[in-house]
Chain A
């Protein structure tokens, strides 16, 4: 088979799996699990094959036009360069892991068939985005991911949190998608085509008339999809979905789609200095703010959610300094270790029966209950904190190195200010990242208090996947940083000495500071008993998680916050803690700025409809009603009246006929 055929099969197989799963889900439950897992695995094999054949050489381009679509043609096009090949491997890899993990995680869930089918559909859409060489086809995949995300976040739709979160995720991402769509149209109008290759060609010849406008419009969509400030607020709430969904969609792949999109069209953004500065500021604010917020979260998954936002900030930061190689490198390593973190968190939540770090910190020996999760999560947290031998170190250092490279001033088309912004924010975030990673590890695995409940062994499908993901988290950075520039055709990704020492030093400082704070506060834990566990700890992991999320607010007063004096984050953040826990009140701001005006408008419209329009409708009905009443009065029921009228009419007609016949 040609590379093109293989590449077409990669998104197609999960799609067929999703269709078959949806059709057979009720009638043949036995087929659901193979239909979920096998297409993903096959796609992984094929994606690896495509990557091997492509090998970082000349990009594979193929296109077919199904039907004429007017002035600007829309084509089914493939554009596979080194980025696409490697990201597709990552997507297929994480998707396979998640599908296998889900068979154990949701083993008793009655809605597992539709869940698995939606995950397959999502995988297919993401692979389509990755491989697509046409912006319209890319947009199709982009939107399918959005709707899959909506359905999967709302998987536990019995709980109000999940319903609200799914709606919020959908609306916020759509808020970004509208300018995104307009930006795509503007871009295609300027470039004369939706094909990525032609767009890039048009950019290189300077054919874009409105580069800043287009870049900013596209940036809005990217901010929505990749959860960048100020459209990031949906991602922490999206943790109300099942953990495998969080791992696949909201950590490793979908949120990376925005980053990947900019990486593909980076020349378009580079055409506008203003867009690059905006991108840099956005990345910096996102990074630092989300790291602060992560330090204050009580829900273990929300910690990872803010962490995801921060790591995506690193990627957009790398793009803001014009180094897409570093961005995609970090995307790959982050995809691996963040998926691992989420999946391990799912295991921990199941074992502990709660998603609250405060409750976990009052459990002894939780790490002995889940040794696999303990070790793999330790690896992943070290990778997240960018400690040297682990993969996160290399990718993050490549980002910081690129920023430092810009600040020294020998860059083309990228303002030095962007480099400084990214460098400073990145180093600050490195410190904070290490701090919240340490805090999480200490609270989850070094708890003191009552014995952790024993729910038996975790399912093999769940633990094996953790070890499979631990390998790339551990090693991919060190192994790949030398070969990847060949794939990306970009700059060297080797860590530079300055940033390595700075970054690692700051990470160690952050970790040690947190450890010190923890030692001071942990004694308070015994004095402030806290904790609520799920009602059915023996249920499958999905049920336990749903109950844990639903019980967090009644137990602690908020979905994100717990009044825990033993929290080292409280000590570290000081007065900032209260604001960081609620995401710096951004939701309240949005509520005041958008939600309340919209609601007031809706009330007004409702009033206009009920009281004003309805009055006209009723008024329009009055005249016919009067006429009807008048006519009804003629219906007396008296047959003689009827016959009289009939005969009178007959006489009149007969006389008229006679008059006409005689010509009178």
Chain B
């Protein structure tokens, strides 16, 4: 394999070290990773197969939480907490709001999967087989040395982010602003279609209040997105009533 050969040729010492670590004698971290990984994968499977839409969102919480634990096990603690905050905290809430606003049925819905299921299963299994085969073939000897200082501590991440990644970081704020404006535009258009224009101050107030906080790109972005979603839901809710 290309990757494997590249990795092997660049880091011969590590491959030699990795040889000492067989798959049959896992370390404690590996056992923990495996267990959490199994749970995560299982939750993901349930997420995409369950017939209860709200349950899918809740199983998604389990998956994302499991992933946060995996990040911790990989010593990326800042990413882990960001994952918990943003995904588990806001994205899933947002999705639940979406489910409610689109009047997703509570309980089992027989038609949660489309007629495309078997084709999807085939493609997914084929892709999984191909990916796992390639990945295992490429990295079966690669060893991650988790000892020493944490690679993803907040300090290390922060230093890297604000020393080397300042420009993309700022560009990201522009992107979030664009997403904010887009969400407003979408909701305003919906208002124009609605019968009355009475919701205009409500819709414009919510995103602007949230969007006024530019610091902390990820947080403000999530807030803006959630805010716009909330404004949106607000309008559509009233429209649905009217």
Q: Do chains A and B touch in the complex (CB under 8 A)?
A: yes
Residues of A within 8 A of B (CB): 638, 640-641, 644, 647-648, 651, 654-655, 658, 661-662
Given contacts A658-B134, A661-B2, contact A641 B127 (CB under 8 A): no
A644 and B120 contact, CB distance less than 8 A: yes
Provide the bound-state CA to CA distance between A638 and B2, in Å.
38
Chain A nearest Cβ from B132, distance in angstroms:
12
Give the CA-CA distance A524 to B181 in the complex, in Å: 107
Cα separation A65 to B90 with both chains bound (whole Å): 96
Inter-chain contact B127/A647, CB cutoff 8 Å: yes
Instruction: Name the CB-closest residue of B to A649.
Output: B123
Q: CB distance A651 to B123 under 8 Å?
A: yes
Question: Given the complex, which residues of B lie within 8 Å of A648, measured CB to CB?
Answer: 119, 122-123, 126
Check B13 for interface membership: any CB of A closer than 8 A.
no
With contact pairs A661-B2, A662-B1 given, residues A640 and B130 touching in the complex (Cβ less than 8 Å)? no
Instruction: Identify 19 new A-B residue pairs, CB closer than 8 A, beyond the known A638-B114, A661-B2.
Output: A640-B114, A640-B116, A640-B120, A641-B116, A644-B116, A644-B119, A644-B123, A647-B123, A647-B127, A648-B119, A648-B122, A648-B123, A648-B126, A651-B127, A651-B130, A654-B130, A655-B130, A658-B134, A662-B1
Give 25 CB contacts A-B under 8 Å: A638-B114, A640-B114, A640-B116, A640-B120, A641-B116, A641-B119, A644-B116, A644-B119, A644-B120, A644-B123, A647-B123, A647-B127, A648-B119, A648-B122, A648-B123, A648-B126, A651-B126, A651-B127, A651-B130, A654-B130, A655-B130, A658-B130, A658-B134, A661-B1, A661-B2
Which residues of the other chain, A, contact B2 by a CB distance below 8 angstroms? 661
| B residues 116-151 in Cβ contact with A at 8 Å | 116, 119-120, 122-123, 126-127, 130, 134
A639 to B, closest residue via Cβ? B116
- Least distance between B137 CB and chain A CB atoms (Å): 9
Quote the shortest CB–CB distance from B125 to chain A (angstroms). Answer: 10
Q: Which of B119, B120, B122, B123 has the most CB of A within 10 A?
A: B123
A114 CB to nearest chain B CB (Å): 64
CA distance A647 to B126 in the complex (A): 10
Q: What are the 9 A-B residue pairs with the smallest beta carbon separation, nearest first? A: A640-B116, A644-B119, A648-B123, A651-B127, A651-B126, A647-B123, A655-B130, A644-B123, A651-B130
**Smallest distance from the beta carbon of B174 to chain A beta carbons, Å?**
30
Cα A647 to Cα B116 with chains together (Å)? 13
Please, which residues of chain A bring their CB within 8 A of the CB of B1? 661-662
B residues in contact (CB < 8 Å) with A: 1-2, 114, 116, 119-120, 122-123, 126-127, 130, 134
Smallest CB gap from B116: residue in A: A640
How close is A154's CB to chain B, nearest CB, in angstroms?
67
State the total of A-B contacts with C-beta under 8 angstroms.
28
How far, in angstroms, from A641 to B123 measured CA to CA in the complex? 11
What is the distance, in angstroms, from A219's C-beta to the closest C-beta of chain B?
84
- CA–CA, A358 and B134, complex, Å: 110
**A661 to B134 CA separation, bound complex (whole angstroms):** 12
By beta carbon, the residue of chain B nearest A658 is B134
**Cα-based distance from A647 to B114 in the complex (angstroms):** 17
Bound form: Cα–Cα A640–B121 in Å: 12
Give B48 Cβ to nearest chain A Cβ, in Å: 13
Q: Which residue of A lies closest to B134 (CB)?
A: A658
Q: How far is the CA of A658 from the CA of B1 in the complex (A)?
A: 8
Residues of B with C-beta under 8 A to A662: 1
Chain A residues lying within 8 Å of B116, measured Cβ to Cβ, are 638, 640-641, 644
Closest to A652 in B: B126
* Chain B residue nearest to A648 in the complex (CB): B123
Nearest A residue to B120 via CB reads: A644
Contact residues in A for B130 (Cβ distance below 8 Å): 651, 654-655, 658
Cβ–Cβ < 8 Å partners of A655 in chain B: 130
A296 to B114, CA, bound (A): 94
- List residues of chain B with CB within 8 A of the CB of A638: 114, 116
Q: Which chain A residue lies CB-closest to B114?
A: A640
Chain A residues near B122 (CB-CB < 8 A): 648
Closest Cβ neighbor of A638 among chain B residues: B116
B194 to chain A, nearest CB (A): 27
Which residues in B have their C-beta under 8 angstroms from that of A647? 123, 127
Separation in Å of the A501 CB from the closest CB of chain B?
A: 113
Task: Tell me the minimal C-beta distance from A645 to chain B in angstroms.
Answer: 8
- Please report the C-alpha to C-alpha distance between residue A641 and residue B117 in the assembled complex, in whole angstroms: 10
Contacts of B114 in A (CB 8 A): 638, 640
How far, in angstroms, from A662 to B5 measured CA to CA in the complex?
11
Nearest chain A CB to B148 CB, angstrom units = 35
Residues on the A chain within 8 Å of B120, using CB? 640, 644
Residue among B2, B116, B122 with the highest chain A CB neighbour number at 10 A? B116
Roughly how many angstroms separate A373 CA and B134 CA in the complex, as a whole number?
A: 112
> Inside 8 A of A651's CB, which chain B residues have their CB?
123, 126-127, 130
Closest-CB distance, A637 to chain B (whole angstroms): 13
Q: How far is the CB of A323 from chain B (nearest CB, A)?
A: 100
A334 and B137 CA atoms in complex are apart in Å by: 111
Tell me the bound Cα distance from A658 to B127 in angstroms.
13
Which residues of B sit under 8 angstroms from A661, Cβ to Cβ? Answer: 1-2
Roughly how many angstroms separate A581 CA and B1 CA in the complex, as a whole number? Answer: 105
Which A residues are CB-close (under 8 A) to B119? 641, 644, 648
Bound Cα distance A651, B119 (Å)? 13
CA distance in complex: A648, B123 (Å):
5
What's the minimum C-beta distance from A273 to chain B, rounded to whole angstroms?
Answer: 94
Give Cα A647–Cα B123 distance, bound, in whole angstroms. Answer: 7
* Interchain CA distance A157-B2 in the complex, whole Å: 85
Complex formed: what's the CA distance from A238 to B153 in Å? 109
A640 CA to B120 CA in the complex, in Å? 9
Nearest chain A residue, comparing its CB with the CB of B1: A662
B86: min CB distance to chain A, Å: 26
**B218 CB, min distance to chain A CBs, angstroms:** 29
Q: How far is the CA of A309 from the CA of B126 in the complex (A)?
A: 95
Q: How far is the CB of B29 from chain A (nearest CB, A)?
A: 30
Q: Which residue of B lies closest to A650 (CB)?
A: B127
How far, in angstroms, from A462 to B156 measured CA to CA in the complex?
115
- How near does chain A come to B135, taking the closest CB pair, in angstroms? 11
A647→B127 CA distance, assembly (Å): 9
Q: Which residue of B lies closest to A661 (CB)?
A: B2
- Nearest-neighbor residue (CB-CB) of B122 within chain A: A648
Q: In the bound complex, how far is the Cα of B127 from the Cα of A654, in angstroms?
A: 9
Report Cα–Cα, A304/B169, bound state, in Å.
104
Give B3 Cβ to nearest chain A Cβ, in Å: 10
Closest to A644 in B: B119
Min CB gap A599→B, angstroms: 63
Set of chain A residues within 8 Å of B127, measured between Cβ atoms: 647, 651
CB-CB under 8 A from A640, the residues of chain B are 114, 116, 120
